[in-house]
Amino acid sequence: MVESEYAKAVFDLAKEENKIEVFTNCFNAVIDTKTKEFSDILVSPFIHKEEKKRILSKVYHSLDETFLHFLYVLIDHNRFDKVNDIYKEYEKLVLKDNNILRVKLISIDLIKPKRLKEFKETLLNKYPNMKIEIINEINPNLIGGVQILMDDASIDASIKGTLDKIRGTL
């Protein structure tokens, strides 16, 4: 996956220059300001790459210079459209480097703090050398239960997921 390769390269550079947080902020600035129209300009085959770089340098003039050059590399290789996916992979590398396990719990309602604490303690027993970060997201389309997402693994313990499994076996 090409996004992983770019993410690894930019992560290694950020680590080497002690700019992991700076690059994270730069990624967020790009993603927060990137509109469909702006992206269309930066991926258009009808606009010369040097012009795209000039546009980037004007729009993102306050970003870290090294990170801006990373964006130029994306332009040179026609990969600017992958910047969101590259950031997701970069973020995984940052979490791994900091021994952070991010767990997303998706439920119909907010999970009570006592239950979150119990879940965190269970995870700490299973992953004693990790810092556990739990995010509780609401999905009103769930009938009940919970979906658990961590790293690239997922557990669907929702009622809808269980019903879908049963339906699949019939």
pLDDT digits (tens, 9 = 90+) for 55-87: 999 999 999 999 999 999 999 999 999 999 999
- State the pLDDT at residue 100: 94
Which CATH architecture describes the domain 2-95? Orthogonal Bundle (1.10)
- Stretch 112-138: mean pLDDT, rounded? 91
pLDDT digits (tens, 9 = 90+) for 118-129: 989 988 998 899
Q: Is the dihedral of CA 42, 46, 49, 51 positive or negative?
A: negative
Helices assigned H by DSSP within the chain: 2-16, 20-33, 36-43, 49-59, 65-76, 83-97, 113-126, 159-169
* b/e code 83-114 from CB counts within 10 Å (16+ = b): bebbbebbbbbbbeeeeebbbebbbbeebeee
Res. 159 pLDDT band, cuts 50 70 90: low
- State the pLDDT at residue 152: 63
Q: Where are the domains of the chain?
A: 2-95, 100-169
The CA distance from 30 to 24, in Å, is 10
- State the pLDDT at residue 146: 81
Question: pLDDT at residue 42 above 90?
Answer: yes
Which CATH architecture describes the domain 100-169? 3-Layer(aba) Sandwich (3.40)
Kindly write down the DSSP assignment for every residue of 108-141, as one continuous string.
SSPPPHHHHHHHHHHHHHHSTTSEEEEEEEE-TT
